[in-house]
Copies of this chain bind each other. A is one copy, B any other.
Amino acid sequence: MGGSPIDSNKIAYLQQVKQMNMATILRQIWKKEQVSRVELVSSADLTSGTITNLTGELIGHKVIREYEAVSGSVGRKRVMLGFDPGHYRIIGLDIGRNNFEIVLMDLCGRVLRSVGGDVDREAGPEGFFARIMPALTDMRQEAEKAGHPVLGIGVGVPGPIDYSRGALLNPPNFPGWSGFPLQAELEKRTGGRVMIEDNARTSALAERWYGIGRNVDDLVFITMGGGIGGGVISQGEIVRGTNGLCGQVGHMTIVMDGKVCDCGNRGCWEPIGSIPGILGRWGGGGTMDDFKAAVRAGDSHALKCMEDTLAFLETALINVFNLYDPEVVVLGGQLYPYIAEYRATVQERLQARLYAFAKDRLRLEPSSFGASQSAIGGAAMLFRELLSEPVKLLV
């Protein structure tokens, strides 16, 4: 053997091993929702002594607890381990251009409370904070007063983000937020741990940790609404890319000689496929509900506009499948309810356009959490952190 591993700093090293083993245990419990100690010994590849000690410590911390399960026809009772919903809390916050949402979650991924509403996009960060801070402070303080420590606040915001500074870069149509040091500001105002992420990515994280992604390691979440964004999960983790632009599916060229987009590119999907894009092409005035009513009424212009919308969607999605090759593409955002009825049709058409050997595995799914997707994904960031570095978060 070349050199003992335990030589530079024995305590730090053992702490690291403990963190790794705890993380392994928590991951296994998350994957299976509930698991017995015996199963853990084999699935986590740790000895029963280690399992007993570490699960004991996690129970002491109230991160996990014991559940009683009745198994088999003889009705034998078994002790299972699962996350403890009774102690820790996580707050998720979504900052939208026109609205916000705050959720309070337990460690089982359940939403205990949610508050949302409209905001004035012209009001900038100060107006936004004035609008949300009472609800945010309230939610946090109430939880803590009742003896529930809040692990932190995870925030979804319009990207792109300067991750090194925890600041917004230059989000289009979001006056006053360019360069705003959101993470530091929220940490100052709440006194707690804050993580921020692009809201397409938080939406993907909600799926990864609490939705479809529990059983899927590679997925792309596409959020369609005022804009079109994408969050890419590869091997279980978010991929951000070099400039934080990975997954900018709204800015792939769909119409080769199309119009110049705000991003600088030409013929992007977003300006023709988003809600404003659809309403602009329709030209009928009014809202998506009006447009949908016209489609239902069989108005030929509205029908053509919907057909084009689906053709753009299909083209974008086949590119997503051929470029990322995810197991599932999840569709969400404010636009989705208006096109939900076409999902199966679009999936079939995509299957016909994908490599024959892979087409039967192609999956297109609706998002799991509707309007709360991004806020729940904000909370998921803290949950992921707890599962990766439990010792750090709990000490």
Contact = CB atoms under 8 A, between A and B. Distances in A.
Given A2-B22, A21-B5, A265 B54 contact: no
Chief secondary structure at chain A's binding surface: loop
A152 interface: no
A295 interface: no
A190 interface: no
B325 A47 contact: no
A14 B311 CA distance: 57
- Give the number of times this chain occurs in the complex, counting copies: 2
A355 B325 contact: no
A45 interface: yes
A17 interface: yes
A6 to B, nearest CB: 9
A49 B7 CA distance: 9
A2 B243 contact: no
Contacts of A354: 263-265
Contacts of A73: none
B323 A252 contact: yes
Interface string A346-358: 0000001111111
A5 B45 CA distance: 11
B2 A326 contact: no
A324 interface: yes
A319 to B, nearest CB: 4
28 contacts: A2-B18, A2-B21, A2-B22, A2-B50, A3-B21, A3-B50, A5-B17, A5-B21, A7-B50, A160-B357, A218-B241, A230-B323, A234-B234, A241-B326, A242-B326, A243-B357, A243-B358, A243-B361, A245-B321, A245-B322, A245-B358, A246-B325, A247-B325, A248-B323, A252-B323, A264-B353, A265-B353, A266-B353
Given A243-B361, A264-B359, A323-B323, 7 more contacts: A3-B18, A3-B50, A170-B356, A245-B321, A248-B322, A256-B311, A319-B323
